[in-house]
Amino acid sequence: MGIRLSISVVDRKLLWGRSANRCAWPACNQRLALNLLNPEADILRDHGAVIGEEAHIRSARQIGPRYDPQYPREKLDTYGNLVLLCPTHHAIVDKDEGAAWPTDAVENLKATHERAVDEATSATDLAVRDLEELLVAQIANWEIKARLATWRAMTSHLNNVYPQLRQDEADGLFELGAWLLERRWPDGYPRIVYAFENFRQVLTCLLELIGRSFEAKGQIFELPREHKRIGWNASLYTELISDFNVKANVVWLLTMELTRAANLIISAVAAELDPLYRLTEGYVLLQDGDAFWGIELSRLQHPTPKPDSVPQVYSLQALIDRTRVELDGGDPRSEPDIDLYAVDVSEWARPTD
């Protein structure tokens, strides 16, 4: 087993970076290629590249090498329990269930190799490595703060006919916005930096709308239906129901655009940092009620930005104005629907001044 899909972007960066992509066996020093899964790995192997093995120090299997029942299961695939080896030395270390290679011997092997790498690496390159480690840690933090694991649930609330968010989801999004604002991104990763800034701009626009228009109702934040709160007044009713409909459409558009922005980050990280990034989890998808909006994934992907372009500011007012025009004033009873997928949200939200 060469690569493990269960290894996170952080652990893979630490493992490969700190061993300088080389086998940890003393004096082997074999430079290892990242296993990109078949068929790429086969092609690299055919051309003589040695594919790196992300070997467990303590096996996950009870009968495996150096199995330790005390070791926490959630740490099995982390950097602390992995050592990078060529296939030959992986086989030696694991021979007879690791009989000749107890845990501390393998840990020693790894530590000695990493120390040698550090000594052979210039201060500048070490600084670059530190920045990359910080960058992958920020990406992992973004995944948590943006709740990518429960993205479908969160978007299903925003995509409700009556847009809403749970209190904790709203708090989480505001915290994410503040966190993104404070981030500093290293040079050398233009697509990743662009993608994060673009995500922040879309999120800022959505949060502005939530902050300005949503109301707390118990543990729920929702777009209030003010047209339900008035006595009989035909023109005021039309004004309020139109306003609600315009804002609801803007929430749906921004939810779709934020999903695209998240997917742009995912493809940028795969392009610039880790080709295996989210290979098993993939892109994030939207949910609308019981149905996926994201069946057609291509509609949730952002076009790759042109080199050197700068993410634009999303103007909430511009987006509201344009949506109102497209909805013919916004009265839902007069039925001019928007094909949400077909909208270029960044164009509609382009600041007018």
Segment contacting Zn ion (CB under 5 A): 11-19, 93-101, 176-184, 335-343?
93-101
Applying CB under 5 A, among 9, 14, 15, 55 the residue interacting with Zn ion is 55
Helix axes 316-326, 234-272, angle to 10 degrees: 120
Q: Which one, 99 or 144, has the nearer CB to Zn ion?
A: 99
Q: Quick one: tokens of 223?
A: 């777009």
Number of residues in contact with Zn ion under rule CB under 5 A: 8
Cis peptide before 39 (omega within 30 of 0): yes
State the minimum distance, in angstroms, from the CB of residue 136 to Zn ion. 24
Considering only 6-14, 31-39, 82-90, 153-161, which stretch makes contact with Zn ion by CB under 5 A?
Answer: 82-90
The minimum distance between CB 280 and Zn ion, in angstroms, equals 20
Q: For Zn ion, give the closer residue by CB, 71 or 174.
A: 71
Q: Which one, 31 or 225, has the nearer CB to Zn ion?
A: 31
| Euclidean distance between CA atoms 245 and 319, whole angstroms | 13
Rounded least distance, CB 222 to Zn ion, Å = 52
Q: Among the residues of the chain, which ranges form H helices? A: 9-18, 40-46, 87-98, 103-120, 123-145, 151-158, 167-182, 190-213, 234-272, 316-326, 345-348
Q: Which of 183, 176, 185, 236 is nearest to 206 (CA)?
A: 176
Alpha-carbon distances of 148 from 110, 175, 223, rounded to whole Å: 33, 15, 23
Using CA atoms, how far apart are residues 276 and 36, in angstroms rounded to an integer?
7
Q: What is the DSSP string of 124-144?
A: HHHHHHHHHHHHHHHHHHHHH
Using the minimum distance from each CB to Zn ion, give the nearer residue, 25 or 214: 25
Report the residue number, 4 or 200, with the smaller CB distance to Zn ion: 4
Binding string, 94-123, against Zn ion, x = CB under 5 A? Answer: x-----------------------------
DSSP-derived 3-state class of residue 54: strand
Tokens 């709308």 belong to 209
89 forms part of the interface with Zn ion (CB under 5 A) = yes
Residue closer to Zn ion by CB (options 30, 204) is 30
What are phi and psi for residue 220, nearest 5 degrees? -115, 140
Contact map string, positions 8 to 37, toward Zn ion, x by CB under 5 A: ---------------x-x--x-x-------
Residues 95, 101: Cα–Cα separation, whole Å:
8
Q: Which stretch binds Zn ion (CB under 5 A): 80-88, 178-186, 314-322, 334-342?
A: 80-88
Among the residue ranges 54-62, 134-142, 224-232, 266-274, the one whose residues contact Zn ion (CB under 5 A): 54-62
Nearer to Zn ion, 66 or 152 (CB): 66
Give me the torsion for CA of 82, 84, 90, 93, rounded to 10°.
Answer: -60
**Does residue 86 interact with Zn ion by CB under 5 A?**
yes
Q: Select 86 or 266, whichever has its Cβ closest to Zn ion.
A: 86
**274 makes contact with Zn ion (CB under 5 A):** no
Residues that bind Zn ion (CB under 5 A): 23, 25, 28, 30, 55, 86, 89, 94
